A and B are shown apart, each in its own frame.
Chain A
Amino acid sequence: MDPGLEETNFYDPENFTYPFGTHVAVVEVDPGTGDIEIERYVAVDDCGEIINPLIVEGQVHGGIAQGIAAALYEGAAHDEHARLQTRRMDEYAVPHATMLPDYETDTTVTPSPHNPLGVKGVGESATIAAAPTVVSAVVDALEPFGVDHLDMPITPMAVWRATGGGR
């Protein structure tokens, strides 16, 4: 047996707190083509004490992109035999950087009282916020057309239909 010093420790917090935040989107919708333009996207997230701000902001950017993608672009389609119709990258819409807006991000810092560092998670918080933020903004924009619900992804064709196109 090799000599050495080994120690294992587990930390099991007695309680949790969760990250929180508020995202706001301003969208412009063209009922003629169904195009949706995100004019402004503001995100304020709270993940407790921030150890590396660059990583936190990076997580928020990536998360918003993923949330917007779910809201407006990405959708798996199946035919009547339940066969996947969106198997390839030219059949399944993943937005490019050029299709996404600039993000205005900020943070508030509410330390977690349940761990010595005061940290909380930030991994997916922006993803969770972005999809309903964008969907709610589009639905709000289409209120004059009597629209109060739209399924994701809200493609331009979905907007066109919801505003009376094709009827």
Chain B
Amino acid sequence: MYAPEFEYRRAESVEHALELLAAHEDARPIAGAHGLLPRLRTGEESASVLVDIGHLDGLTGIDERDDTIRIGALTTHAEIAGSDPVREHAGAMADAASELGDPQVRNGATIGGNLAHGDARADLPAAFLALDGELVVRGVDGDRTVPATDLFKGHFRTVVAPHELITEVRLPIEDESTSAYVKRRNPLSGYALVGVSACLGFAVTDDDARTVETARVAVTGATTKPSRLPGVEAALAGMTVDGEAGRLDETDRLTGAAARATEGFEADDYRADSQTSPEYLAHLLPVYTEQALHRAVEGYRRSR
């Protein structure tokens, strides 16, 4: 399948890219082209002008400043997966980036493209939600920030407009916290059939036990849009995961919290394909939620 004809424009700067995007009806930015180009070829999306931003300076790299990890929009998944600050403070994002696609895709596709695309099967959205990140989005009128919880509107639908550019992804650095992402690969596509990310923040009590103070858990792949799992988060709040309580007890409690993963979803909210059904995905969701919680808690233990 060949993509229909389009005009290719190479932007010289972010400002130039924004001008080109504003000037052409139906223009779209491309960064790594691993998300948009396949969909132009199948006719699922169309664009008359592609504005290439992939080579622009100043939009790559990972920086740790003011309790925030700042990732330039053009940073590749391979760079994120291999970054020490991301691994240390935003483990879920490092997990998600390293689980994505194959080496070729990880070296070409960018974080900005992944989050702007809004593919409901993509890996990064779950980590982005659980880490409570935000985007810096630039338009001709200047910058605005978009919190993770506002970004996703449905399969391939986000609040980033076609004439806007994501310039930066920000992830907060939190003390006494841990995060992880686990994925069940869809054998059809390699994308997430179910991907769950958990981020837990702890309060240290007098007896040196750890009590869950903040809990953010999010799913991708299984549902029509990447979403937080409020039932699981509520069940985790105040839970002691260390100290005198035995491990067995902890496992039971994490299982109990994970069981609430399906709260609020109807059959229509799951994405079934030729080898799955909504019932099966609803069955898998708590299983992988539990794995994500264990992975996060184990990661925290190891880091202490």
Taking Cβ atoms with an 8 Å cutoff, the residues of A that contact B are 32-34, 73, 75, 77, 85-86, 88, 90-93, 95-96, 99, 153, 155-157, 160-161, 165-166
Interchain nearest-CB distance for A68 vs B (Å): 12
Residue of A nearest to B1 (CB): A88
Instruction: Evaluate whether A75 and B275 lie within 8 angstroms (CB atoms) in the complex, with A157-B280, A165-B280 already known.
Output: yes
Are A32's CB and B188's CB within 8 A? no
SS of A interface (majority)? loop
Give CA–CA (A77, B189) in the complex, Å.
16
Closest to B102 in A: A96
Contact of A91 among B190, B274, B283 (CB under 8 A): B274
Q: Does B136 reach chain A (CB closer than 8 Å)?
A: no
Shortest C-beta distance, B122 to chain A (Å), equals: 13
**Contact call B287/A91, Cβ cutoff below 8 A:** no
Main secondary structure of the interface of B (DSSP, over half): loop
Structural contact, A32 and B280, CB atoms closer than 8 A = no
Whether A33 pairs with B284 at a CB distance below 8 angstroms is yes
Contact A165:B283 (CB < 8 A) given known A93-B275, A157-B277: yes
Count of B interface residues, CB-CB < 8 Å: 17
Partner of A95, one of B187, B191, B277, B283: B187
- With a cutoff of 8 Å between Cβ atoms, the chain B residues found around residue A73 in the complex are 187
| Distance in Å: Cβ of A7 to nearest Cβ of chain B | 49
Selected contact of A92 from candidates B188, B191, B277, CB within 8 Å: B188
CB distance from B195 to the nearest CB of A (A): 14
Q: Which residues of A contact B274 (CB under 8 A)?
A: 75, 77, 85-86, 91-92
A-B contact pairs, 9 of them (CB 8 A): A33-B284, A77-B274, A93-B275, A95-B187, A96-B190, A156-B280, A160-B283, A165-B283, A166-B283
Interface residues of B in 274-288 (CB under 8 A from A): 274-277, 279-280, 283-284, 287
Interface centre among B42, B187, B277, B279 (most CB of A within 10 A): B187
Query: Which residue of the partner chain, among A32, A85, A93, A160, contacts B187 with CB atoms under 8 Å?
Result: A93
Contacts of B191 in A (CB 8 A): 90
With A33-B184, A153-B275 already in contact, 19 other A-B pairs whose C-beta atoms are closer than 8 Å = A32-B287, A33-B287, A75-B274, A75-B275, A85-B274, A90-B188, A90-B191, A91-B273, A91-B274, A92-B188, A93-B275, A95-B187, A99-B187, A157-B276, A160-B280, A160-B283, A165-B279, A165-B283, A166-B283
Contacts of B273 in A (CB 8 A): 91
Distance in angstroms between the alpha carbons of A161 and B284 in the assembled complex: 13
Q: Are B276 and A91 in contact (CB under 8 A)?
A: no
For the complex, give the distance between the alpha carbons of A23 and B42 in Å.
41
In the complex, the answer to whether B188 meets A91 with C-beta atoms within 8 Å is yes
Chain B residue numbers with a CB within 8 Å of A34 are: 280
Chain A residues with CB under 8 Å of B276's CB are: 155, 157
Whether the pair B42, A155 counts as a contact (CB closer than 8 A) is no
Do A88 and B42 have beta carbons less than 8 Å apart? yes
List 5 A-B pairs, minimum CB-CB distance, nearest first.
A77-B274, A90-B189, A93-B187, A157-B280, A155-B275
| Chain A residues with CB under 8 A of B277 | 157, 166
The 0/1 profile, CB within 8 Å of A marked 1, for residues 179-202 of chain B is 000001001111100000000000
Q: Within the complex, what minimum Cβ distance (angstroms) separates A96 from chain B? A: 8
Q: Mark B259-281, 1 if CB is under 8 A from A, else 0.
A: 00000000000000111110110
Instruction: Identify the closest chain A residue to B188 (Cβ).
Output: A93
Give the complex CA separation of A93 and B190 in angstroms.
Answer: 10
Separation in Å of the A23 CB from the closest CB of chain B?
22
CB distance from B262 to the nearest CB of A (A): 13
Query: Closest residue of chain A to B288, judged by CB?
Result: A33
CB-CB under 8 A from A75, the residues of chain B are 274-275
Closest CB in chain B relative to A42 CB, distance in Å: 24
Q: Residue-by-residue, is B212-249 near A (CB-CB < 8 Å gives 1, otherwise 0)?
A: 00000000000000000000000000000000000000
In the complex where A85-B274, A91-B273, A93-B275 touch, is A166 in contact with B280 (Cβ < 8 A)? Answer: yes
